[in-house]
A = this chain, B = another copy of it.
Amino acid sequence: MPVITVNWWQGNDRESRRDLVAGITDVVTRVSGCPDETVTVIVRDVAPDHWGKGGQLADEIRPPRSLR
C-alpha cells in the first residue's frame, strides 16, 4: 500500500518518469515485501522558481565564489 511522492525540478521527460516509477517500485517492493501493484508513486514537477534553497529561489542561486 505504500504511497511515495517525488518532488523534483521540472524538466525530466516521460522516459525519466517511467524509469523513476519502475525503479522506486522495485526498491519499495524489495525492501517491504509488498506486491508491486500496491505501490503508488506521485511525481510532482516543480519549477526552480518555485523551489527555495538556502534562502534563494533555485533559479537565482549564484554558484559559490570559487566557481564564478
Q: Using CB atoms and an 8 Å cutoff, list the residues of chain A in contact with chain B.
A: 1-9, 12, 14, 16-28, 30-32, 34, 36-46, 49-58, 60
Contacts and interface: CB of A to CB of B under 8 A. Distances in A.
Given A41-B51, A50-B17, A54-B36, A6 B7 contact: no
A49 to B, nearest CB: 6
Contacts of A41: 51-53
A45 B49 CA distance: 12
B30 A23 contact: yes
Contact of A42 (B7, B24, B25, B38): B7
A14 B50 CA distance: 8
Contacts of A23: 26-27, 30-31
